[in-house]
Amino acid sequence: MDMYAPPAAGPQGIQGPQGAQGNAGANGTNGTNGAAGAVGPSWPFSRQRVTPTTGQTVNADGSDILQITPAGLLLTLTVVFPASPTNLKMFLLASTQTLTTLTLNGNGNTVLGTLATLAIGGFAAWYFSTTDSSWVRCG
């Protein structure tokens, strides 16, 4: 053996214990929330509620819904549709009681799909057509 040669490597030693875990890094900050959206209308339709008696005439005030709430059955009632409607204006007629003889007046316009009576809890709907100046039944 050569005297100047490095010594041969010995067997690997035993691994020591694992060191302690370091502290966690700081958390990032949360982003800011966007602005709140606009609040829409809670009910998009307007309503006129009337309590007529037999033989009366009810003039619709231009609301989308005319709700008839009589104390009991009505033998006769006349309903006058809204004045100066715009194209595709909706008009819904509803009743909580039976309307035995119902007369519909288009307020200078034609009513297509008229009714002669309306049952308890009944309703009907029309839209206005400026093309032919008519209220057209759609429900």
**Domain range for residue 92?**
47-137
Number of domains in the chain: 1
Domain membership flag for residue 26: no
Q: What angle do CA 73, 74, 78 make, to 5 degrees?
A: 150
Domain membership flag for residue 128: yes
Domain membership flag for residue 15: no
Domain membership flag for residue 12: no
Domain membership flag for residue 64: yes
Residue 95 tokens read as 């009743």
CATH of the domain at 77: 2.60.120
C-alpha 114/C-alpha 116 separation (Å) is 7
Q: Coil, strand or helix: which one is 103?
A: strand
Chain centroid offset of residue 19 CA: 63
pLDDT 10s digit of each residue in the chain, 139 long?
Answer: 555 655 566 677 677 787 777 777 677 677 677 676 665 556 688 999 999 999 999 999 999 999 999 999 999 999 999 999 999 999 999 999 999 999 999 999 999 999 999 999 999 999 999 999 999 999 9
For residues 119 and 96, the answer to whether their CB atoms sit within 8 Å is no
C-alpha 46/C-alpha 23 separation (Å) is 64
